[in-house]
Amino acid sequence: MKTKMFKIMSDIRYVLAGATITLGLITFGCIPERDQGDPEVIDPSESATTPESTSPTPPSVDFSAEAESMRGWDDLCETADYETVSGQFADVIDDVRSINDSGAEGSSLIQCIDDLELPRQVPIGGFKLWLKPYDSNVAAWEAYTSEHRTIIHNFHDVDIDPDVSFDVSGDGTWAQGEVGAFETPTTKSEGNKSALAVAQGDFYIVEVLMRFDDDEEVLRSDCEPNSTDNCVMTAAYMAEFLADEYLPGLYQRIEDRLAES
C-alpha cells in the first residue's frame, strides 16, 4: 500500500513539474500562446490547389485597345517559340501552322500548332498554343477562374487531377497560372501523355498543350540512354520545363510584341 501511494505521489509531482515547465516556456515566448477559442488560420498559399481556390478580383483596367491589337496577330507562331518545346525531344520534325479564329463577345482565339513526328514519319503528338484576349483584366480574370483553370483538373475526366502540378502565379509575370502533368494516357488524351499549362496575363489567357506518345522511342534531347536513365520523355519533365522555362519566356515575348504594336 505504501509503495502504491508513493508511486501516485511521484506521478503527481511529475505532472505538476511538467505543467510548470510548459507555463515557463509560454511566459518566455518559447511556445506561442494561442486562444483556443480562435479558429485556425491557414495561409491560402499553403493550401492545396483546387478549382475553387481563386485569387481576389483585381481592380478593373480597360485593355480594349491592347486586345484589339492582339486580335490582329495573324502569325502567333512567330511569338510562340514552339521550337523551344519541340527541342526538348530528340530527333523530331516540326510541322507548324498558325490560325486566327474570330470569337464571340469581343474576343478572338489565336492558335499556333506544331504537329511533331519522328524522322521515320511517325507522328508522336503535338504542341498547341491558344491565346485569347479580353477587353479588360477583370474579364480575363473571370474567364480564367470560371472556365480555363478547371481545364487542368478536368482535362482527362471529371475529378481526375494531374499527377504533378506547378503553380506559376505571382512570379512577376503571370497573374494566375498552373501547369499539370498527366502520365497515364486516356481515351480523352488520344492515348498520349500530356502536359497542360493555363495562365492569365493582364488581359489575356494562354493555354499550352504538349501531347506525346507513351513510347520508349520518344526520348529527351538532353541525355544519352544509360543503365540509370533511359531518357524517355515524361509528362512531369515536360510540365516542369513549361513552368520553369517556357512560360516565363512566352510572357516576355507577348509583352514585347504588344509594346511594338
Q: How far apart are CA 228 and CA 222, in angstroms?
A: 14
Whole-prediction pTM value? 0.74
Average pLDDT per run of 10 along the chain, which is 261 residues long? 42 43 39 36 32 67 94 91 93 89 62 86 85 94 81 65 88 88 77 90 94 88 86 95 96 96 80
Q: How far apart are CA 114 and CA 253, in angstroms?
A: 18
**Residue 189: its pLDDT value, please?**
67
**Residue 133: its pLDDT value, please?**
94
Q: How far apart are CA 237 and CA 38, in angstroms?
A: 43
SS3 23: helix
**Residue 228: its pLDDT value, please?**
84
Q: Which three cell numbers stand for residue 167?
A: 503553380
**Residue 4: its pLDDT value, please?**
41
Q: Which three cell numbers stand for residue 143?
A: 474567364
* 211 touches 193 (CB < 8 A): yes
**Residue 188: its pLDDT value, please?**
67
